[in-house]
C-alpha cells in the first residue's frame, strides 16, 4: 500500500506510527510532492501528528541507544525515497528484543549509518565553512545552501560558540534560517533581496564598513600561510570540493 | 585599526610561521560559560585548506621575526636578509577576535622569534593569551610556543591561559643539532617540556581533590621534527618520537619535510624536492604507534632503519610477519584485527559489532569499507582469485600492480623528460 505524507520529519514519523497501528502490509512511503498516483492504485494520506511522531522517536531512541544519532542524521538526508530505508531500519530496531543498531552486517543498518554519515559530513562542513559577515546593525550574518537540511543540526554548535554576539544563519535553498538575539535562537523566515545577501555579497548598504577590510586580511593570511613548493591541488580539492568554494571569501577576494 | 600596516605585518609573520605544521585545535576541554565568546570543548575544525592541502584551523603567526639565533634551517635566522616586523600585543588580540567572530578560525597559534632574551619573548606571548582570556573573555583555542630558556614561572603562567604548549625540537639527533644550530643544546628544549609535563600532572591530581583547580594546558603538549635536513634515518626519527611520547606524554609529534630556504652548504639546496612521501610514511608509522598498538621497534629497527617507500608501514610489517596470518575476522582479538593491512580503526569497530549478530563473509567486509585489495591476502576464508603463491614478494607485487599510488610518479624508475 502506498502511504503519502507532507514531507516533514514529523509527518514521516507519523507515517511510521500509522503503519504499526493499522498493521499496514508492505508499505511504500512517498512525499506528497513527488507522489504520482497510478491507475487503480490505492494510497493512504497520513496526517501529521506530533504526539504520534514523538512516540515513534522515543521508541527508536530507546532501542537504538547511542547510535540513535545515525538514524536522526539520516532522517535529515532529503534525497528521494530514503523514507523506505529509514522505515526498514526502524522496523529492525523496534521489532527486535536486543539492540541491533550496531548490526552492520544488516544492509539497512549499514545503509542508514552511511546516510547519516553523509549528513554528518555536510553538517561539519557547514560548521567549518560558514563565514559570518558583520551587518551595519551588528548582526553576524551568514547565508548557506547546504546539500541537506542541516540548519537544525548545526544550531547547537553555533549557540555554544557565539553567545556574546547576535548571529543569523540563513538557508537560501530552503528559505528559512535561525537567529540568535543574545537570549534565544529562533527559526525565522525573511524576504531578502538575494543579490545583497548572497553567500559572499558584501553590499555596503547592508554590511559594516570594516567588513571588507577583514575579508581582505583573511585572504592575505590565507595566501601567506600557503607553502608554494608543496602545492598539491589534488589534496586541496579532496578537502574543499569546488562546490564549497562559494562559501570561502579567501578564494574570491583579490589580494 | 590601520589595515594597511596590519596587512603588511600579517603577510610577513604568517609567512614566517607557516613552517610550523601543527594546526590541531582538538583535545581541549574549555567550555563556554554563559555569555562569553568561544568554545573549544569538542573536536577541532578545519575552516579552510591551503593549496598545499594543509588544514587551516588556527591563526598561525609569529609575534615577531626578529631573532637573536642563527639556526641554519630556519627562515628567520639572524643572518638571513629579510624584512623584520613585530606585532603589538593588542594587534594580535584584535585580529584573533575579529577572525574568530566571523568563524574563520578555531583560535590562535602564536609563536615568535627570540628577541632580546627568552623571558622577554615568552612574557609577550603570555600577555597576548592573558588578554584574550581575561579581557576579551575568549574561550577559543590558544596554542603558545614554549620558548626554550624561559623561566619556570612564565611557563607555569603560560599553561594557565593556553590550551596547548609546544616546543619544537626540530632536529631529531644531537649530532644534527650541533651541526645546524650550534648555539642550542638539546637540554634547552627538554627543560620547558619537562616543566610543562610536571605542571600538567600536578594540576590534574589537584583537580581530583579540589574541583575549582584551574585547567592547565588541557590540550597537552606537542613538538615537531624537521625531516630530511640533517641526514637522519627513519629509525632515529621514530625512536625520538617514541621517546617523547613516553617520557613527556606528548599529544602529538609532527613531522615536517624540510623545505629548502637557504644556500647554506650544510643543508639540501634550494630547488631540491620536499620529502613529502617520506613525511607521509612517517605519519603512517606515527598513527600505528598511537592508534594501532604497534611498538616503535616493530616498525623500524636497526635491521630496517628506513620505512619502505613503495608500501605503507603496516603492510610492510605484515609481509615481514606472514606467520601471523591469515586472520579469522570472526574470532580474532581486536589487537590482531587492527594489524590487518587495509583494515582501519573504524572498520575494526564495525567488525567487532557486526560479528555478534552474524558470521561475516567477504561481502560484509567489502560493504563495511575494508580495502580488500590489500586485506584479502591476510584474511581467512576469502577467495583470492588465482594467486596460490602467498609469498611476501608475490603479495607485494600483486598489491602494487592492482592499485595506483598517488606517489607513482615519484616511485617510477623511469625518468620523465620534463
Does any domain span residue B99?
yes
Separation of alpha carbons A86 and A28, rounded Å = 11
Select the residue from B9, B18, B28, B53 to test the A interface by mutation, using most A Cβ atoms within 10 A.
B53
* ipTM for the whole complex: 0.91
Looking at A123, A155, A182, the residue that finishes a domain is A123
- pTM for the whole structure: 0.90
Does any domain span residue B202?
yes
**Interchain proximity B48–A165, CB inside 8 Å:** no
Select the residue from B7, B35, B102 to test the A interface by mutation, using most A Cβ atoms within 10 A.
B102
Q: Is B321 found in the same domain as B294? A: no
* Other residues' Cβ atoms within 10 Å of the Cβ of residue B142: 31
Kindly report which listed range (A114-118, A194-198, B192-196, B310-314) carries the lowest average pLDDT score.
Answer: A194-198
What pLDDT score was predicted for residue B418? 40
**Interchain proximity A239–B32, CB inside 8 Å:** no
Q: Is B334 found in the same domain as B287? A: no
Number of domains in chain A: 2
The minimal CB distance from A226 to the residues B41, B45, B51 is found for B51
Per-residue pLDDT of chain B (418 residues; tens, 9 = 90+): 899 999 999 999 999 999 888 888 887 778 877 778 888 877 889 999 999 999 999 999 999 999 999 999 999 999 999 999 999 999 999 999 999 999 999 999 999 999 989 999 999 999 999 999 999 999 999 999 999 889 999 999 999 999 999 999 889 998 888 888 888 888 888 888 999 999 999 999 998 898 888 889 999 999 999 999 988 999 999 999 999 999 999 999 999 999 988 888 889 888 888 898 999 999 999 999 999 999 999 999 999 999 999 999 999 999 999 999 999 999 999 999 999 999 999 999 999 999 999 999 999 999 999 999 999 999 998 876 555 677 898 899 888 888 776 666 665 544 444 4
**Interchain proximity A229–B48, CB inside 8 Å:** no
Q: Is B342 found in the same domain as B253? A: no
- Mind telling me how many Å the CA of B38 is from chain A's nearest CA? 4
Q: Which backbone phi and psi does A132 adopt, to 5 degrees?
A: -80, 140
In Å, how far are A119, A156, A249, B46 from A161, measured between CA atoms? 21, 9, 21, 15
Separation of alpha carbons B132 and B14, rounded Å = 20
Share above pLDDT 70 across residues of chain A, in percent, rounded to a whole number: 100
Q: Is B240 found in the same domain as B134? A: yes
Rounded to 5°, the CA angle B56-B58-B64 comes to 115
Residues in chain A: 255
Number of domains in chain B: 2
What pLDDT score was predicted for residue B282? 97
What pLDDT score was predicted for residue B414? 46
Separation of alpha carbons A82 and A93, rounded Å = 17
**Interchain proximity A160–B39, CB inside 8 Å:** yes
What pLDDT score was predicted for residue B37? 87
Strand A28-31's sheet: what is its strand order?
A: A28-31, A2-5, A43-45
Q: Is B335 found in the same domain as B252? A: no
Q: Is A134 found in the same domain as A119? A: no
What pLDDT score was predicted for residue B385? 54
CB A90 within 8 A of CB A56: yes
Looking at A70, A94, A123, the residue that finishes a domain is A123
Q: Is B70 found in the same domain as B123? A: yes
Select the residue from A221, A234, A245 to test the B interface by mutation, using most B Cβ atoms within 10 A.
A221
Looking at B299, B329, B344, the residue that finishes a domain is B299
Residue A159 pLDDT class (50, 70, 90 cuts): very high
- Mind telling me how many Å the CA of A1 is from chain B's nearest CA? 31
Q: Is B59 found in the same domain as B131? A: yes
Domain residues for the domain of A186 are: 130-252
**Interchain proximity A225–B357, CB inside 8 Å:** no
Looking at B252, B271, B299, the residue that finishes a domain is B299
Mean predicted confidence (pLDDT) in A6-23:
95
Looking at A123, A155, A186, the residue that finishes a domain is A123
Looking at B251, B274, B299, the residue that finishes a domain is B299
What pLDDT score was predicted for residue B39? 83
Q: Is A245 found in the same domain as A169? A: yes
How many CA atoms lie less than 13 Å away from A185 in the CB half-sphere?
Answer: 20
Q: Is A149 found in the same domain as A107? A: no
Strand B107-111's sheet: what is its strand order?
A: B58-62, B107-111, B141-145, B164-166, B221-227, B252-257
DSSP B131: I
- Cell, residue B143: 596554542
What pLDDT score was predicted for residue B25? 83
pLDDT exceeds 50 at position A133? yes
- Cell, residue B47: 575552516
In Å, how far are A14, A52, A152 from A49, measured between CA atoms? 6, 6, 20
Q: A-contacting residues of B 175-234, CB under 8 Å?
A: none
Separation of alpha carbons A179 and A168, rounded Å = 4
What pLDDT score was predicted for residue B158? 95
* H/E element, B121: helix B118-130
What pLDDT score was predicted for residue B388? 60
Domain residues for the domain of B331 are: 313-409
* Bridge partner list, B255: B225
Q: Is B35 on the interface with A (CB under 8 A)?
A: yes
Q: Is B21 on the interface with A (CB under 8 A)?
A: no
Q: Is A214 found in the same domain as A146? A: yes
Kindly report which listed range (A7-11, A22-26, B27-31, B124-128) carries the lowest average pLDDT score.
Answer: B27-31
* Other residues' Cβ atoms within 10 Å of the Cβ of residue B98: 18
**Interchain proximity B32–A224, CB inside 8 Å:** no
Q: Is B337 found in the same domain as B208? A: no
Q: Which residue of A has its CA nearest to B55?
A: A239
**Interchain proximity A163–B35, CB inside 8 Å:** yes
Q: Which CATH number goes with the domain that contains B77?
A: 3.20.20.70
In Å, how far are A148, B154, B190 from B121, measured between CA atoms? 48, 10, 18
Q: Is A135 found in the same domain as A83? A: no
Q: Is A105 found in the same domain as A25? A: yes
CB A72 within 8 A of CB A115: no
What pLDDT score was predicted for residue B44? 86
Residues from chain A that touch B49, judged by Cβ atoms under 8 A, are: 235-236, 239-240
Three-state SS for A133? strand
Instruction: Report the interhelical angle of A82-95 vs A107-129 (nearest 10°).
Output: 120
Does any domain span residue B166?
yes
**Interchain proximity B276–A165, CB inside 8 Å:** no
**Interchain proximity A224–B7, CB inside 8 Å:** no
Q: Is B196 found in the same domain as B171? A: yes
CB B72 within 8 A of CB B112: no
With 0-12 / 13-18 / 19 or more C-beta atoms within 10 angstroms meaning exposed / middle / buried, residue A191 is exposed
Amino acid at each position: 500500500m502506498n502511504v503519502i505524507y507532507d514531507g516533514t520529519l514529523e509527518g514521516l514519523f507519523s507515517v511510521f506510527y500509522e503503519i504499526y497501528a493499522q498493521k499496514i502490509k508492505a508499505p511504500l512511503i512517498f512525499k506528497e510532492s513527488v507522489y504520482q498516483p497510478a491507475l487503480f492504485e490505492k494510497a493512504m494520506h497520513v496526517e501529521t501528528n506530533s504526539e504520534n511522531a514523538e512516540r515513534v522517536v522515543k521508541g527508536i531512541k530507546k532501542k537504538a541507544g547511542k547510535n540513535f544519532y545515525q538514524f536522526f542524521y539520516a532522517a535529515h538526508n532529503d534525497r528521494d525515497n530514503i523514507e523506505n530505508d529509514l522505515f526498514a531500519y526502524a522496523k529492525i530496531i523496534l521489532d527486535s528484543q536486543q539492540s541491533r543498531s550496531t548490526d552492520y552486517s544488516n544492509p539497512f543498518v549499514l545503509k542508514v549509518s552511511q546516510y547519516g554519515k553523509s549528513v554528518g559530513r555536510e553538517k561539519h562542513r557547514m560548521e567549518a565553512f560558514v563565514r559570518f559577515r558583520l551587518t551595519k546593525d551588528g548582526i553576524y550574518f551568514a547565508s548557506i545552501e547546504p546539500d541537506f537540511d542541516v540548519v537544525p543540526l548545526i544550531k547547537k554548535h553555533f549557540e555554544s560558540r557565539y553567545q556574546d554576539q547576535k548571529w543569523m544563519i540563513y538557508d537560501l535553498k530552503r528559505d528559512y534560517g535561525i537567529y540568535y538575539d543574545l537570549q534565544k535562537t529562533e527559526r525565522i523566515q525573511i524576504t531578502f533581496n538575494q543579490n545583497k545577501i548572497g553567500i559572499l555579497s558584501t553590499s555596503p548598504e547592508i554590511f559594516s564598513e570594516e567588513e571588507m577590510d577583514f575579508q581582505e586580511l583573511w585572504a592575505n593570511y590565507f595566501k601567506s600561510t600557503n607553502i608554494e613548493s608543496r602545492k598539491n591541488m589534488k589534496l586541496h580539492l579532496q578537502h574543499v570540493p569546488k562546490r564549497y568554494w562559494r562559501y570561502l571569501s579567501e578564494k574570491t577576494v583579490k589580494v | 585599526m590601520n589595515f594597511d600596516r596590519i596587512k603588511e605585518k600579517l603577510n610577513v609573520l604568517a609567512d614566517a610561521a607557516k613552517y610550523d605544521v601543527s594546526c590541531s585545535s582538538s583535545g581541549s576541554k574549555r567550555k563556554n560559560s554563559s555569555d562569553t565568546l568561544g568554545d573549544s570543548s569538542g573536536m577541532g575544525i578545519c575552516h579552510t585548506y591551503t593549496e598545499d592541502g594543509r588544514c587551516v584551523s588556527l591563526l598561525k603567526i609569529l609575534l615577531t621575526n626578529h631573532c637573536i639565533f642563527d639556526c641554519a634551517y630556519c627562515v628567520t635566522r639572524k643572518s638571513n636578509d629579510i624584512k623584520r616586523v613585530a606585532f603589538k600585543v593588542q594587534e594580535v588580540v584584535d585580529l584573533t577576535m575579529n577572525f574568530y567572530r566571523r568563524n574563520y578560525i578555531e583560535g590562535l597559534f602564536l609563536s615568535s622569534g627570540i628577541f632580546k632574551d627568552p623571558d622577554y619573548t615568552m612574557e609577550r606571548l603570555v600577555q597576548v593569551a592573558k588578554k584574550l582570556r581575561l579581557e576579551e573573555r575568549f574561550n577559543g583555542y590558544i596554542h603558545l610556543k614554549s620558548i626554550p630558556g624561559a623561566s619556570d614561572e612564565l611557563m607555569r603562567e603560560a599553561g594557565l591561559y593556553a590550551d596547548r604548549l609546544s616546543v619544537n625540537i626540530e632536529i631529531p639527533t644531537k649530532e644534527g643539532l650541533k651541526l645546524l644550530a650550534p648555539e642550542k643544546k638539546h637540554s634547552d628544549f627538554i627543560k620547558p617540556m619537562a616543566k610543562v609535563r610536571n605542571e600538567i600532572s600536578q594540576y590534574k591530581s589537584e583537580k581530583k581533590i579540589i574541583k575549582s583547580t584551574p585547567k592547565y594546558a588541557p590540550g597537552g603538549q606537542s613538538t615537531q621534527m624537521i625531516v630530511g635536513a640533517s641526514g637522519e634515518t627513519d629509525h632515529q626519527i621514530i625512536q625520538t618520537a617514541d621517546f617523547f611520547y613516553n617520557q613527556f606524554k606528548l599529544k602529538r609529534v609532527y613531522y615536517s619535510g624540510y623545505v629548502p630556504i637557504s644556500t647554506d652548504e650544510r643543508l639540501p639546496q634550494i630547488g631540491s624536492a620536499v620529502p613529502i612521501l617520506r613525511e607521509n610514511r612517517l605519519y603512517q608509522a606515527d598513527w600505528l604507534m598511537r592508534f594501532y598498538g604497534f611498538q616503535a621497534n616493530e616498525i623500524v629497527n636497526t635491521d630496517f632503519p628506513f620505512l619502505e617507500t613503495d608500501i605503507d608501514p603496516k603492510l610492510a610489517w605484515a609481509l615481514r610477519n606472514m606467520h601471523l596470518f591469515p586472520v579469522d575476522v570472526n574470532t580474532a582479538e581486536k589487537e590482531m584485527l587492527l594489524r590487518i593491512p587495509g583494515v582501519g580503526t573504524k572498520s575494526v569497530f564495525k567488525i567487532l559489532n557486526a560479528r555478534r549478530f552474524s558470521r561475516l563473509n567477504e561481502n560484509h567486509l567489502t560493504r563495511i569499507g575494508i580495502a580488500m585489495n590489500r586485506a584479502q591476502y591476510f584474511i581467512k576464508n576469502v577467495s583470492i582469485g588465482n594467486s596460490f603463491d602467498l609469498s611476501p614478494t608475490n603479495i607485494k607485487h600483486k598489491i602494487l600492480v592492482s592499485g595506483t599510488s598517488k606517489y607513482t610518479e615519484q616511485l617510477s624508475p623511469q625518468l620523465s623528460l620534463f
